[in-house]
Structure 1
């Protein structure tokens, strides 16, 4: 009988030995449930693509889908614009002021989204501080309805997602070589031209990453639309909860969840290719 020399056995890369426990954990806690959701979306109540067809053709699900995309898009634009302004201020002030601004950005992340949504509901109520200030200043003669509509939802979501827009944009701004800006100014370009031709192109990748991150987070929002929307602004996360917990149409709820997952994967993949995560990871 031929004997195998132990010295000729293939050796396992030590890196894979370290990654194997994490891969198994992710497979058990993430991939298995996702696969079950995928199977449920095409098997409940009948085998086929009935749930996806209903999601793309029925008026109610389409309205929920368009509301989700519209609110997420508006929130993304506002959060990225505000985040760019805040990041620009942080990148061009002294160290002490930068730390203060950073604290103002990071501290809200420590507060529960439920508490923040309820706080905005109090602030934006018809008899709340915001409306009272507008009426006393003479800007309006009657309270403005900020809650129980998309306006309140957009305000609450923008406030929550602002830090996720600031951090990647600020990281891109901190990496800019200031000598490029000095060179542009020394060659006769004004401040506006330098910003448009030099500064903005150097920070566009950070802004794009912030756009994808904020939009993906916005797609899955549940608490803020439920509270500030008052049941009138139904987004897909809330619709999934209703389908699973109340109407017990698990297959249709799973199909909506799969749709959100596909959008998320596509956007993250697009961000990885555009921003260059592979290069950053050394591949």
Structure 2
């Protein structure tokens, strides 16, 4: 990681960084902006004040009643949305920091400090990805689809696997109502960069490849200027090599913060945090 700020230049030292308590705070905040995959996958449910958020899962995509014939001057009937059972989620405070030792300061070990900060950022992103995937896996449960074969093997049909996943999302129906579709339209393919390389080397995939999509996405840095099968491609190095997620972004779930991402200023150990 290259440290840069008003102190940018060859003369920067660990002592200079400590003299400005906001130096690392600003740098880490900039690095983590747009680095969390849940901001792409889930919708923002807003803040919660007490660390608890109540929600209902959608039980239907349509109202409970159908339209009726209404006579002139008659009252227009109303209906309500079918909702699932009330559930609650509890916020957990997760945090991590790095320390600047006496030796790092007095021996000016700037490279070690840079490595620590870079590793801190990666660790926070990894934790974010794992938490998001845990939530997705808990929601999917046993309703997952195995590939025809390992994508690294010669017997795999990667194109069929992706289209099968798209079809399963599009065909999702309300429990107990096989003809009542939720109407999901998948628009994101989330994979590890290694898996994306496998995809782009497959002959059938190449035919559906659309590159150089002219767009910038401030929400998630891992979104690629690439489309496959009409899906925007997003990657994370912390994804398992054996998984690929096809979903409709902003619909699969939500996130809610009690305290939004906060990076503290540099402070003395056991001092004010």
TM-score of the aligned structures, taking structure 2 as reference length: 0.25
Q: Which has the higher helix share?
A: 1
Q: Which has the higher strand share?
A: 2
